[in-house]
Structure 1
Amino acid sequence: MTSNQNVQAVFIDRDGTIGGTGHFIHPRDFELYPTAQEAIMLLKQNGMKVFAFTNQHRIARGQATVQEFEAQFQEYGFDQAYICSHEEECGCRKPKPGMLHEAAAQHGLDLTRCIVVGDVGETDMLAAHAVGATKIIVRTGWGESSLTKFRDKWAETEPDYIAADILEAVHWIIGNTDE
């Protein structure tokens, strides 16, 4: 990557990546990590589209609505949210890349020029790997255990960068696109 124009979009997971615990938390109770809002705004200030992409099967159970999640992501400054609300097997539930393909079709994206940031190797990183996107795993949420205890579940791929948190990931993205 040599300039911001090369990165078409950054896809960011929710639970464990920008806040929360890695487990389901209703949007009204969800809290961002202290530097997450700054990270999202830095991407936008650097001319990048920022998309949320998250598995939220509790929507299918009636514990929240897609609209509640969409409103939350809009409040945080995301350009759009891609949410898999299905509990059963489907084509959009990470690690399947359906949400990434949907975004590519809607926004004319070359997914090999996009970046995925998440905390779970066996979902976020595998979805990114399936489409050739740059993969950044954060150590927050499930990140540390994804890199150690559960590394065998996504052994077929390597992250392009391992960040302490979302802000470090964003600094890496900006630093590698401003050369």
Structure 2
Amino acid sequence: MTTSEIQAVFIDRDGTIGGSEEVIFPGSFELFPFTTDSLRTLKNADILIFSFTNQPGVSRGDAQFDDFQDELTSFGFDKAFICPHQHGEGCTCRKPSPDMLIQAALEYGLKLKNCVVIGDRWTDMIAAQRAGCMKVLVKTGSGEKDMAKYRSNQFFGEWLEAVPDYIAEDLSDAVKWIIMK
């Protein structure tokens, strides 16, 4: 796939665009120094950029859905797809489910095979695999730990099959790889 064929890039929040592997609520969240330029590079290539993130603090009452939505769009995302549910709540949108990706495809008329997912967790790679997207794992956030689990065969079945198409040092490296396609 060439850059001109890429319709959208879905990017995880915590550990991928900033913060750490821990959830940091809106107002305290800080972007990595390269994030703004990376998002601008994708926009300049006429690629839609979406955040897709699990934020269970919303259902616990620790944060508001709109605060995440407002924060992410202020960073430059075209839209944020947010799962507000806790693990085990029985929703269908929580990663590793591909439902947020499918919802975006329906809303924006996307072919998911022409989309890329960038994230720091293996659940991001599974969601991308299930949706048919290209997969880029960044080493920031939980990326190094998840790569170590993969390399030591701690992932099984479809988890093992979600091998990233590219392993990037960070979001900037991931975007450079996408643009060079």
Same fold flag (TM > 0.5) = yes
Instruction: Map residues 161-176 of structure 1 onto 2, 5 A cutoff.
Output: 161-176=166-181
1:134 aligned partner? 134
How many residues in Structure 1 have an aligned counterpart in Structure 2? Answer: 174
Instruction: Map residues 1-179 of structure 1 onto 2, 5 A cutoff.
Output: 1-4=1-4, 6-87=5-86, 88-121=89-122, 123-149=123-149, 152-153=154-155, 154-176=159-181
Q: Give per-residue Cα distances to partners, 1:111-170, cap 9 Å, x unaligned.
A: 01100000001x100000001100000000000011003553331221000000000000
Indicate conservation of the 8 Å contact 2:3/2:178, yes or no. Answer: no
Deviation at residue 89 of structure 1 after TM alignment: 2.2
- What is the TM-score with the length of structure 1 in the denominator? 0.94
Percentage of identical aligned residues: 48
Gaps of 5+ in 2: none
Q: Give per-residue Cα distances to partners, 1:60-97, cap 9 Å, x unaligned.
A: 01111111011111110000000000111211000001
Q: Give per-residue Cα distances to partners, 1:35-77, cap 9 Å, x unaligned.
A: 0111111100111000000000110011111110111111100
Greater CA drift, 37-46 or 148-157: 148-157
- What is the TM-score with the length of structure 2 in the denominator? 0.93
Pairwise CA RMSD: 1.0
Distance in 2 (CA, whole Å) between partners of 1:39 and 1:3 is 15
Distance in 2 (CA, whole Å) between partners of 1:106 and 1:99 is 11
Gaps of 5+ in 1: none
Distance in 2 (CA, whole Å) between partners of 1:59 and 1:23 is 15
Indicate conservation of the 8 Å contact 2:117/2:128, yes or no. Answer: yes
Indicate conservation of the 8 Å contact 2:150/2:160, yes or no. Answer: no
Distance in 2 (CA, whole Å) between partners of 1:12 and 1:2 is 19
Query: Which AA in structure 2 matches 1:134?
Result: M
Query: Which AA in structure 2 matches 1:19?
Result: G
Distance in 2 (CA, whole Å) between partners of 1:3 and 1:14 is 23
Query: Which AA in structure 2 matches 1:127?
Result: A
Indicate conservation of the 8 Å contact 2:136/2:166, yes or no. Answer: yes
- Runs (4 or more) in structure 1 with deviation over 2 Å come to 149-154
Query: Which AA in structure 1 matches 2:171?
Result: I
Distance in 2 (CA, whole Å) between partners of 1:3 and 1:49 is 12
Q: What secondary structure does 1:162 align onto?
A: strand
